[in-house]
């Protein structure tokens, strides 16, 4: 299993979530956050915005689905401009459903 965390533009979140649902990936967590990337924020006119609103989409998938999910997120969140986001993929040793105690997804 792998955990996929995608930090994306808030305006892309609904498109990404709809795309994931359409591909059969219904279980996810969406978190509204603030942050910045390599550009250290943006400057508009004379105003510098150090941290920008972003959305984190988190989901855990089987290893065989990682490439499909990452490709879908990249496609749905892409604008071609700085700040489109970043995808992080990390291993997950196990998962437990709290209500039932069952291991796995």
pLDDT (tens digit per residue) in 28-68: 999 999 998 888 888 889 998 889 999 999 999 999 999 99
User: Which of 32, 18, 33 lies closest to 76 in space, CA to CA?
Assistant: 18
Report pLDDT for 43.
84
Could you give the C-alpha distances from 81 to 8, 77, 78, in angstroms and in order?
12, 11, 8
User: Which of 79, 105, 101 lies closest to 92 in space, CA to CA?
Assistant: 105
Which has more confidence, 83 or 20?
Answer: 20
Task: Count structural domains, the chain.
Answer: 1
Mean pLDDT in residue range 65-76: 98
Bridge partner residues of 35 (DSSP): 52
pTM comes to 0.90
Report pLDDT for 40.
83
Q: Which domain does 37 fall in, by range? A: 2-103
Please report, for the domain that includes residue 72, its CATH number.
Answer: 3.30.70.120
SS3 content of the chain, % helix, strand, coil (to 5): 25, 35, 35
Report pLDDT for 20.
98
């Amino acid at each position: 299993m792998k955990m996929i965390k995608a930090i994306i533009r808030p305006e892309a979140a609904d498109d990404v979530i709809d795309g994931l649902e359409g591909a059969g990936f219904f279980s996810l967590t969406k978190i509204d956050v603030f942050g910045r990337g390599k550009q250290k924020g943006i400057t508009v006119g004379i105003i510098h915005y150090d941290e920008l609103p972003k959305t984190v989409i988190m989901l855990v998938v089987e290893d065989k689905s990682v490439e499909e999910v990452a490709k879908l997120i990249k496609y749905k969140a892409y604008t071609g401009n700085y700040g489109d986001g970043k995808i992080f993929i990390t291993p997950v040793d196990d998962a437990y459903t709290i209500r039932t105690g069952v291991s796995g997804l």
